């Protein structure tokens, strides 16, 4: 197990290096100068050159990349051009909001998508199976930005039931403990703040979970249908076991590898795919921070965030591999 973990971690080093180099060169190849975009319109040419020297933009691209790489080894991604703060500090401030949203969206998708897929597979070609499959198809195909706008117009605009943007009402929540607003309000037993935070996270979590719910439903149904056609399932039914025991205890146990794969991959995709949802709902996460960095041509901020996204994907994949071994004893990670 330990040797497997070491091999995987060592194998990520060239991946991180190539991604950072590609992003760095791509940013510098794009037209435009951060100094011209961020410095005031009233600034003189000398002011622009001073900003370029201060940010190191007057150096050759490979020199800039080498300095960034040496600092990134110690998790120092430099200072943001736009905010004039350490990039890592900005990421740590915004990351809990994105992770909280992704965790809630994943929980919703699991609680809805997996049971629907199991029930649909146990009633193949029934009206429930057809309706669930149609719903899963729309869930997979639904554009996040369109659904977000429609929910804002209907739920927030027309019925005025939930807030249309933000994370909490100013002044309601107390001092942050963990950065996860819902968890902080529970720890502080501030139920008014909990209800306030829950109102703000409902719509973005629903929008972010729709695609994953549809995919989970369809993949669970397919995996269950394949397992339910196996001989040992027919034997279990012939022994007189109830259909509930056959489906939920025997079939699901052998179909969960596919479910784990989908959940793991989609969770990583939710974190990176939350950029549009965070922008529409003004959710203060790293997705919105990345958009702001791209708009301002903030090289250190963009590169640091891309490396954080890459690291998250690697961590999620490692967790999925270990879950494989836990779910199926025949899978061995060592060697």
What is the pTM assigned to this prediction? Answer: 0.88
Asked whether the beta carbons of 132 and 157 are under 8 A apart, the reply is no
Are 187 and 269 within one domain? yes
pLDDT attached to residue 334: 58
Range of the domain at 318: 94-327
User: Encoding tokens for residue 136?
Assistant: 């899963």
- What is the average per-residue pLDDT within 272-294? 89
**Helix/strand/coil percentages in the chain, nearest 5:** 75, 0, 25
The verdict on 161 and 272 lying in the same domain is yes
Do 46 and 179 have their domain in common?
no
Residue 60 lies in a domain: yes
Same domain, 27 and 144: no
When divided into structural domains, the chain yields a total of: 2
Looking at the structure, do residues 164 and 305 belong to the same domain, yes or no?
A: yes
CA 282 to chain centre: 16
Cα–Cα dist 178/189, whole Å: 14
> Is the pLDDT at 335 greater than 70, yes or no?
no
Q: Which residues lie below 8 Å from residue 8, measured CB to CB, with a gap of 6+?
A: 314, 318, 321
pLDDT digits (tens, 9 = 90+) for 44-53: 788 888 888 8
- pLDDT digits 0-9 by tens, 121-153: 888 888 998 998 898 888 888 898 899 999 999
Q: Quick: pLDDT tens for 2-56.
A: 677 777 778 888 888 888 889 888 888 877 778 777 777 777 788 888 888 888 8
Q: Are 207 and 155 in contact (CB under 8 A)?
A: no
């Amino acid at each position: 197990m330990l040797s497997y973990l070491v091999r995987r971690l060592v194998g990520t080093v060239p991946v991180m290096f190539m991604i950072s180099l590609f992003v760095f060169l791509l940013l510098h190849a794009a037209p435009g100068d951060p100094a011209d975009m961020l410095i005031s319109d009233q600034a003189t040419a000398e002011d622009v050159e001073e900003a370029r020297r201060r940010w190191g933009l007057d150096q050759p691209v490979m020199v800039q990349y080498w300095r960034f790489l040496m600092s990134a080894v110690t998790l120092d991604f430099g200072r943001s051009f736009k905010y004039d703060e350490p990039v890592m500090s900005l990421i740590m401030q915004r990351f809990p909001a994105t992770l909280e949203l992704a965790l809630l969206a994943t929980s919703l998708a699991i609680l809805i998508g997996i049971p629907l897929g199991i029930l649909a597979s146990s009633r193949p070609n029934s009206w429930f199976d057809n309706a669930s499959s149609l719903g899963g198809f729309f869930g997979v195909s639904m554009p996040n930005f369109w659904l977000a706008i429609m929910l804002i117009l209907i739920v927030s605009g027309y019925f005025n039931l939930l807030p249309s943007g933000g994370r909490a009402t100013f002044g309601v929540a107390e001092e942050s403990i963990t950065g996860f607003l819902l968890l902080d309000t529970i720890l502080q037993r501030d139920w008014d703040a909990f209800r306030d935070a829950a109102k703000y996270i409902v719509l973005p979590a629903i929008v972010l979970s729709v695609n994953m719910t549809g995919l989970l439903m369809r993949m669970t149904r397919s995996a269950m249908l394949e397992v339910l056609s196996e001989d040992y399932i027919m034997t279990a039914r012939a022994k007189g076991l109830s259909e509930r025991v056959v489906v939920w205890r025997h079939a699901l146990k052998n179909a969960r590898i596919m479910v784990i794969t989908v959940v793991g991959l989609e969770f990583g995709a939710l974190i990176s795919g939350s950029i549009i949802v965070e922008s529409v709902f003004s959710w203060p996460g790293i997705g919105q921070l990345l958009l702001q960095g791209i708009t301002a041509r903030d090289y250190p901020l963009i590169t640091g965030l891309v490396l954080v996204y890459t690291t998250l994907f690697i961590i999620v994949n490692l967790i999925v591999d270990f879950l494989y071994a836990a779910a199926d004893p025949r899978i061995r990670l060592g060697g």
